[in-house]
Amino acid sequence: MSLLTPPEAAVVLREAVAALSRRMPVEPGVLVPEASTEHLARLADKLERAGGGAAGDPIDAGDVTALDTWIRAADGFTLHPDAAEVEARAALGRQLRAVRALVAPEGERLTTDPRDV
DSSP for 59-94, written as a single string: P-HHHHHHHHHHHHHHHTTTT-S-HHHHHHHHHHHH
Q: What is the pLDDT of residue 52?
A: 61
Q: For the CA atoms of the chain, what is the radius of gyration?
A: 14
Q: pLDDT digit of tens for each residue in the chain (117 aa)?
A: 458 999 999 999 999 999 998 888 777 878 788 889 999 999 999 999 887 655 667 888 889 989 999 998 888 765 567 888 888 888 999 999 999 998 886 655 555 555 443
| Domain spans of the chain, in order of start | 6-103
Q: Is the pTM of this model over 0.85?
A: no
Q: What is the pLDDT of residue 117?
A: 38
